[in-house]
């Protein structure tokens, strides 16, 4: 389940060092090498799955459970004021490492905005069309 040339597989195997803040049989949680805020961490499953599409459902459930646990511990220890959990799938969505991971990003009162996008302004008809496309 390890893929050659995958940087996160190498971190999991110990070939590349990382600052590990939690580890169990299924996951490693490490500090991001280029943190958006103090404590920015990544939940990484030990098995290689490229993204959420490939992730088995039971691993997804465990990842969310771990995210909730880590968010609580990190909030208590870092005294952050809020928290983002981000997960990118595909290059267009900002994914740069193609081994599934979830970003745990503690947010602080005076930190800089890290998530900004320009809102679309769809008409009611376009909204309805989108609703139909997804549900029918």
Instruction: Please identify which of the residues 48, 99, 101, 103 carries the catalytic annotation.
Output: 101
Residues found near ligand 5GP in the complex (CB under 6 A):
7, 16, 18, 30-34, 42, 88, 94-97
Taking the least distance from each CB to ligand 5GP, the nearer of 64 and 97 is 97
Taking the least distance from each CB to ligand 5GP, the nearer of 11 and 71 is 11
* Alpha carbons 96 and 62: distance in angstroms, whole number: 23
Q: Which helix (H) or strand (E) holds 79?
A: none
Taking the least distance from each CB to Zn ion, the nearer of 3 and 95 is 3
Active site residue 103: no
Q: Which two tokens stand for residue 68?
A: 């909730």
CB count within 10 Å of CB 133 equals 8
Q: Is residue 98 near Zn ion by the rule CB under 5 A? A: no
Site residues for Zn ion, 99-118, by CB under 5 A, read 99
The answer to whether 51 and 100 have CB atoms below 8 angstroms apart is yes
Looking at 1, 4, 6, 109, which residue binds Zn ion (CB under 5 A)? 6
For 93-105, the three-class secondary structure string (H helix, E strand, C coil) is HCCCCCCCCEEEE
Catalytic residues: 101
């Amino acid at each position: 389940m390890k893929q050659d040339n995958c940087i996160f597989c190498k971190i999991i195997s110990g070939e590349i060092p990382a600052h590990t803040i939690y580890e169990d049989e299924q996951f490693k949680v490490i500090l991001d090498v280029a943190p958006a805020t103090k404590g920015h961490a990544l939940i990484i499953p030990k098995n290689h799955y490229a993204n959420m599409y490939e992730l088995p459902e039971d691993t997804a459930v465990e990842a969310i459970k771990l995210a909730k646990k880590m968010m609580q511990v990190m909030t208590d220890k870092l005294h952050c004021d809020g928290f983002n959990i981000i997960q990118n799938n595909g290059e267009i969505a900002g994914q740069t490492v193609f081994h599934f991971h979830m970003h745990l990003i503690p947010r602080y009162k005076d930190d800089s905005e890290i998530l900004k996008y320009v809102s679309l302004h769809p008409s009611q008809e376009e909204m309805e069309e989108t609703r139909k496309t997804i549900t029918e």
